[in-house]
Structure 1
Amino acid sequence: MSDALPDRLSIDPASPFHDAALLERGIGILFNGVEKTNVEEYCVSEGWIRVAAGTARDRRGNQMTLKLKGRIEPFLRDEA
């Protein structure tokens, strides 16, 4: 398997950007130099991450998220 990470990745199985095999290996995200553990989705080229917004839910019962902009650096956890 290649160590190249995708430009965009989501933990939601309904998303077209979901990759279960890659998520099983473990992905870490550095956002503006700080490691984030609650990232739901990220896009490196557009420079944003989505994080959970507390315990708030939308009308379909899905977790509500916030989009934060900044420098994104994804990495594989199984290397460390």
Structure 2
Amino acid sequence: MNDTTQLPALPDRLSIDPRSKFHVAAVFEHDIGIKFNGNERNDVDEYCISEGWIKVPAGKALDRKGNPMLIKLKGTVEAFYR
């Protein structure tokens, strides 16, 4: 019997890139929300709560491997399950 009320704890740092050492697949089985400076963001690729930053795509720019270029924004970060 599955207990759906048990959610894994959200880590201090999390990335959506499966190649990153900060990617936790169990967390992505559930819907996650990120609040940055009090506003909910839907375009976050990586975050760190303790250091207070998020990484988001910088427009349509791509790096040489075809991944979006990311910019780091500093502020108050809050992660939660929806």
Instruction: Give TM-score, length-normalised by structure 2.
Output: 0.88
The unaligned stretches of length 5 or more in structure 1 are none
- Aligned CA RMSD, in angstroms, stands at 1.1
Cα displacement string for residues 11-67 of structure 1 (whole angstroms, at most 9, x for unaligned residues): 000000001120120110000000000000000010000001111001111110110
Runs of 4+ in structure 1 deviating by more than 4 angstroms, as ranges, are none
Structure 1 residue aligned with 2:51, among 41, 46, 49?
46
Paired AA for residue 31 in structure 1: F
Q: What SS does the aligned partner of 1:23 have? A: helix
The unaligned stretches of length 5 or more in structure 2 are 1-5
Structure 2 residue aligned with 1:6, among 11, 31, 54?
11
Q: Find the counterpart in structure 2 of residue 69 from structure 1.
A: 74
1:4 offset after TM fit, Å?
A: 2.6
Tell which structure's C-alpha radius of gyration is larger: 2
Q: What SS does the aligned partner of 2:26 have? A: helix
How far apart are the structure 1 equivalents of 2:59 and 2:28?
23
How far apart are the structure 2 equivalents of 1:57 and 1:16?
21
Q: Find the counterpart in structure 1 of residue 20 from structure 2.
A: 15
Say how many residue pairs are matched.
Answer: 77
